[in-house]
Amino acid sequence: MPELPEVEMVVRHLRKLFTKRTIEKAQLYLPKLVSDATPRQFAAALRGARVTSVTRRGKYILSHLDNERTLLTHLGMTGRFLYVGAKDVAPKHTHVTLWLDNGKRLLYEDPRQFGMMGLSKTAELGAYKLLAKLAPEPFGDEFTLAYLTATLGRTDQQIKLALLDQTKVLGLGNIYAAEALHRARIHPQTPASQLTKARLAALYQEIVATLTEAIANDSTMNTDPSDLGASYTGGVYESMTKVYEREGKPCLTCGKLVERITQGQRSTYFCSRCQKLR
DNA sequence: ACTAAAGCCTGGCTGC
DNA sequence: TGCAGCCAGGCTTTAG
């Protein structure tokens, strides 16, 4: 699933393939994908624009254009970009086609339609609704132990749920939240405000370490260099998870069988021997 | 102000 | 073989 490491992989691919290209024509086939522009406005905003840079904010991909606008993309669960030749057939759930000045097309495909795109004036990006409340970047200077301590101290939410809240901690999804908690030896149902100083320090360290390690190992994405990530499975990191989707298998640290519980209507995998409530 | 839950979606899998 | 039912889950919206 596209969490921060997967999005970072996509951004790195886009940087190579999309930067400095001019969009000759754009077409949006699924109007609801873009809430702040009609398909006509979307096409008009992108036509003739040159991509100056591609960056990331949390799980959002930001394609900055030379017409003072930025195209935002959130991949949701199944969103992905495809870079194809002029004659290649677009897959079934292609919602956007961008015709590039090198004869290639950049397609956006999303079967489950949980992803979205947005358009913002680049200068107003900081105030853009979807970005304004996001927590600091986990690799940035603002994400400190002091920040994490203050933020988590304010909520009695179960720690797993707090970690998924992008306004509290940025970049983790279901996979990496479970992995970070296992590495920090924290039970996912621990109330966030009850974490001791030592456990907060461990958690802080393991959040950064988990994301760093995932990126260093190409995340869970299958990275075909001719593509922008053919799928969100098959990546190196997928086989490195210690608890995620390993229910009933031995914990790689202690051997006890990994358990699965439901939190916030989604699965959490953990080891009840390694991860204690206190 | 905060938290919980519903809703958005399709494809793949399970069980009858 | 066919099909109903369930599950995957990031984010927004709505309800409490």
- DSSP string for A56-98: EETTEEEEEETTSEEEEEE-TTT-EEEEE-TTSPPPTTEEEEE
Tell me which residue of A86, A138, A96, A90 sits closest to A119, measured CA to CA: A96
3-state SS class at A120: strand
- pLDDT of A67: 96
pLDDT tens column, A171-187: 999 999 999 999 999 99
**Measured CA A208 to C1' B7 distance, in angstroms:** 32
Comparing A132 with A50, the larger pLDDT belongs to A50
**Tokens 């190579």 sit on residue:** A16
- Compute, in degrees rounded to 10, the torsion defined by CA atoms A225, A231, A236, A237: 130
* Average pLDDT across chain A, whole number: 89
**Dihedral angle over CA of A6, A50, A71, A95, nearest 10:** -80
| Share of residues in chain A with pLDDT > 90 (%) | 64
Placement of tokens 């995620």 in the chain: A244
Which bases of chain C are under 7 A from a protein CB atom? 7-12
Q: How confident is the model at residue A35 (pLDDT cuts 50, 70, 90)?
A: confident
For residue A246, the model assigns a pLDDT of 87
Compute the average pLDDT of residues A30-59: 93
List Cβ neighbours of A111 (8 Å cut-off, separation of 6 or more).
Answer: A78, A92, A93
Residue A90 CA, nucleotide B13 C1', distance (Å): 26
Distances (CA, A) of A261 to A128, A189, A267: 36, 10, 6
Nucleotide nearest to A92 (CA to C1'): B10
How far apart CA A105 and CA A90 sit, in angstroms, is 10
Give pLDDT tens digits for A73-127: 999 888 999 999 988 888 888 999 999 999 999 999 998 888 999 999 999 998 8
Q: Which residues bind near strand B, taking a CB cut-off of 7 Å?
A: A 32, 77, 92-93, 111-114, 154-158, 161, 264-265
Q: A134-148 pLDDT, tens per residue?
A: 999 999 999 999 999
Is the pLDDT score of A230 beyond 50? no
